[in-house]
Amino acid sequence: MNRIANLKQLKSNKSNNNNKGKNVLSTASISVTTKDRLSEIFEYMSMECPLSELSEILEKETGGKFTQLTFREIIDRIYSGLSINDKIFLLKHLPLSKIDIIPHSPLIFILYLFKYI
């Protein structure tokens, strides 16, 4: 979890920087940081409770398709050691197109979720 704290500090330092111009490189590095932070969160989750167990719980309780609210409730229950900020970050930055959520189908399918993870 130290790396997550370091990433938060790095992001804070970047936002405090007085450079007014943004270039493509700086926005690309922000997305890499987001990707890295998501990886760190998944790694921490895996240490607290293996992701395979999360998969089994999701399958058992939802039949393999669920809403973001259901996903959040299950994460809250299983990963009590994960901070609220990290849970919010995870749910906010989970790329919907990668897990096949579209306006006509707002459900998360377990296959696409774990394919992304």
Sketch the domain layout of the chain as residue ranges. Answer: 2-16+23-116
Higher pLDDT among residues 47 and 117, named by residue? 47
pLDDT tens digit sequence for 80-91:
888 899 988 888
pLDDT tens digit sequence for 34-43:
788 888 888 8
| Owner of token pair 């920087």 | 17
pLDDT tens digit sequence for 45-80:
888 888 889 889 989 998 888 888 888 899 999 998
Alpha helices in 1-117 (DSSP H): 2-16, 24-48, 51-62, 68-78, 84-93, 110-116
CA distance 103 to 113: 17
115 touches 33 (CB < 8 A): no
